Amino acid sequence: MAETRYGTALITGASSGLGYGLALWFAKRGTRVFAAARRLQNLQALAEEARAAGGTVEPVEMDVSRTDETMAHLQKIDADCGGLDLVVANAGVGLDTNGKRFKWERAKQVLEVNVMGAAATLSAVLPQMVERKRGHLVGVSSLAGFRGLPKNAAYSGSKAFLSTFMESLRVDLRGTGVRVTCIYPGFVKTDMTAPNKHPMPFMLEAAEAAELMGKAIVRGQTVFSFPWQTRAAMGVAQALPNAVFDPLMRKLR
């Protein structure tokens, strides 16, 4: 499969972790990257690192949970740069939402970023991409969205939404010239996973995971999940009947 070259790309959640690594990966390959996140200082450090490597990253201070502002911001960037070739909805929040001690404010924050923020990011310039008959939308879901994991009602649910959202877009956009990719990472060493005190098997470094994602995107894969060991385990979990899955999850909790 031939690899695609992108002149321009916008990546959210780029101030750390997967977004930071992915923005740097594309910048080193000649893509003009608009790196969006709330932490401007981190984005400026990313831009400096990219510049030292001969690439171009332009910081974009933005909170995807403010969906109207996000839509307007992306549309302006799209118009100013002559059209975004690639949009990656990577920004995400993971907070404990244990059903026994459920806190709506935590769930609300997760859903505002992972559902509404991701949908706004992916929708902002979709009509323009269809009109141009080119473009690539990428949603960063999670293997945690394959089933409802303990203490993760909001997070698992939000990632399940994103994967189904991307699938419907993929079906609708077939033949338009606009491509759709949904990525399902397993455990990656990021700010989000740092507070977790429990074992996280087959964990990858953020740079390694970003490279895997970047290669899948340029190959035009419609679906990409990694690492294979965690994907296989989640595949088994998907096949388990609830009578087996529920007590197993209670033990893992």
Q: Is 154 helix (H, G, I), strand (E, B) or coil?
A: helix
What b/e readout covers 218-237, taking b as 16+ CB neighbours within 10 angstroms? beebeebbbbeebbeebeeb
- Using CA atoms of 208, 49, 17, 167 in order, give the dihedral in degrees to the nearest 10: -80
Polymer length of the chain: 253
Residue 155 falls in the annotated catalytic set:
yes
DSSP assignment of 51-114, as one string?
HHTT-EEEEEE--TTSHHHHHHHHHHHHHHHT--SEEEE-------B-GGG--HHHHHHHHIII
Which position among 6, 20, 155, 184 bears the catalytic label?
A: 155
Containing H/E element for 178? strand 178-185
112 CB burial (10 A radius; 0-12, 13-18, 19+): middle
Q: Which two tokens stand for residue 22?
A: 């992915």
Name residues whose C-beta falls within 8 Å of residue 166's C-beta, 6 or more positions apart in sequence.
122, 137, 139, 141, 180, 181, 182
Please give the positions annotated as active site.
155
